[in-house]
Amino acid sequence: MTEFRSIVAETGEPHGEPLAVNGPADVAAACAAAAAAFDTYRATDRETRAAFLERIADEIMAIGDSLIEAYMAESGLPRGRGEGERGRTVGQLRLFADVVRKGQWQQLRIDPALPDRAPLPRPDLRLRMIPVGPVAVFGASNFPLAFSTAGGDTASALAAGCPVVVKGHPAHPITGSLIAAAITKAVKDAGLPEGVFQHLVGPSNELGAALVQDPRIMAVGFTGSRGGGLALAKLAQEREVPIPVYAEMSSINPVLLLPEALKARGEALGTAFVGSLTMGAGQFCTNPGLILAVEGEGLDAFVAAATGSVSEAKPQTMLTTGIAAAYAKGVEALEGNAGVEILAKGEAGSKTTGGAILFQTTAAQFLADKAIGHEVFGAASIVVRCKDEAELASLLEGLEGQLTATLHMDDADEAAASRLLPVLERKVGRILVNGWPTGVEVCHAMVHGGPFPSTSDPRTTSVGSMAIDRFLRPVSYQNFAQGLLPAELRDAAYGDGAPRLIDGALTL
């Protein structure tokens, strides 16, 4: 195949001109250019790199409304969401510009020489983080802007000093190409080598596989399905030189309704829950796919309200017909599962849309059948009725790793919440109180990550400023003359605004 088409999400029909498909030779050329650009790009000073990230943000805004129109057509998502996501995307780039300028990411450490130490003197030792090398980024279907071509992985890798080769998501090739052109213009205007950013497109998995297998790629960022993430991780492990894959894969995001909160506002919680469940047709990795609560009147009120709201829900356009089909298949499997009962079903979906659905089961059945706990990407969720807090806690212990867990609680639930916290910490990357897991803030204290299989590497986050750490590794310089040291490790650089750990003491 040498060409493919962009598809309008709402109709499932192609639109626009045929698009060229990148092949293995393009992958090799892109990786060669990225490797060639690496030493030049990583040598840029903090101000140059920060200004470059801001320039990308400006170029994205300069595309104007054609970007939003392409976004809406290709994703089926509404204008407000598109504009909001664009804001998040440029805000993310500007956040990383600020992070780059502040310099903490360099983790500068200086242990001065101790020439008179006995029995042996200590040499001068200095450490900084350097970027790992060219990074492959896989755009996500459900965030055509904030988690795709110029999304979080690209922003954090560029911030770290890594050239980026994006494998654009085939569900939004026009959106991706507009963004890629904006970044390419920023690269050129900043006087950086072309290999700093490159964009490959095509509908096949082979393209992505070739990218991960290229020996010049040193790390991979991915957001998508469990199958896709595991396949890439396997390829990365089988390379002559294995590399890290940061795959954000699947999560059902348990929501715990604690007794006092349920008693006080079961009905309101039920309505609010369905708002979070159906937002964006449920196409969020943080979608609340699992409700856990102890039996009682409060839970009955919650279920009644949620049942009512789900029943009234209209089907929504899904990102692709493939995602709509996978959603229908996942729902069908649960409908056919004897351990699961249907509580409510919204108006049925179609080839391009998905309808909401709410299931119910018992803790015992949930624990007995792992399939009940697998992610169904879309507006499907399941209420698990527990006999008591002990059964709820043991269900949590049996859960797979998750991106988030949510506690709905009142002050009087605090003791119960404290008892549940240790297991939640072991199972998830972010714990919320009295909110909904959809809506991931891009800030410094965000963790969008979690134990396997929610991600392939719980030691990191894919949203927020800490994501820069994924693309860095430490190098130590022993007994270097000042002139040979990297600039930021020289004595003369003290006071440049970056913190330094000097002989173990953090100094600003």
By annotation, the residues acting in catalysis are 248, 285
What whole-number distance in Å separates Cα of residue 503 and Cα of residue 468? 25
Residue 214's φ and ψ, nearest 5 degrees, are -65, 125
Measured from the CB atom, the residue of 192 and 200 that comes closer to a second copy is 192
**Owner of token pair 């509404």:** 78
Min CB(490)–a second copy separation in Å? 13
* Number of CB atoms found within 10 A of residue 289's CB: 27
Measured from the CB atom, the residue of 2 and 394 that comes closer to a second copy is 394
In contact, 93 and 155? CB cutoff 8 Å: yes
Min CB(110)–a second copy separation in Å? 6
Element at 318 (helix H, strand E): none
In contact, 56 and 242? CB cutoff 8 Å: no
Min CB(417)–a second copy separation in Å? 6
Selection from 253, 282, 275, 311 nearest residue 432 by Cα: 253
Measured from the CB atom, the residue of 338 and 481 that comes closer to a second copy is 481
Min CB(433)–a second copy separation in Å? 5
300 token code pair:
């009955």
Selection from 463, 357, 330 nearest residue 404 by Cα: 463
Min CB(480)–a second copy separation in Å? 5
What whole-number distance in Å separates Cα of residue 250 and Cα of residue 105? 28
What whole-number distance in Å separates Cα of residue 187 and Cα of residue 170? 24
In contact, 318 and 354? CB cutoff 8 Å: yes
Measured from the CB atom, the residue of 396 and 417 that comes closer to a second copy is 417
Measured from the CB atom, the residue of 187 and 233 that comes closer to a second copy is 233
Min CB(346)–a second copy separation in Å? 26
Measured from the CB atom, the residue of 133 and 289 that comes closer to a second copy is 133
Min CB(357)–a second copy separation in Å? 27
Selection from 346, 343, 372 nearest residue 360 by Cα: 343
Is the Cα torsion angle 266, 267, 272, 273 positive or negative in sign? Answer: positive
* Number of CB atoms found within 10 A of residue 328's CB: 20
Measured from the CB atom, the residue of 78 and 435 that comes closer to a second copy is 435
Label the pairing between strands 108-111 and 500-502.
parallel
Counting Cβ atoms within 10 Å, is residue 215 exposed (0-12), middle (13-18) or buried (19+)? exposed
In contact, 175 and 67? CB cutoff 8 Å: yes
Close Cβ partners of 95 (under 8 Å, ≥ 6 residues apart): 442, 443, 465
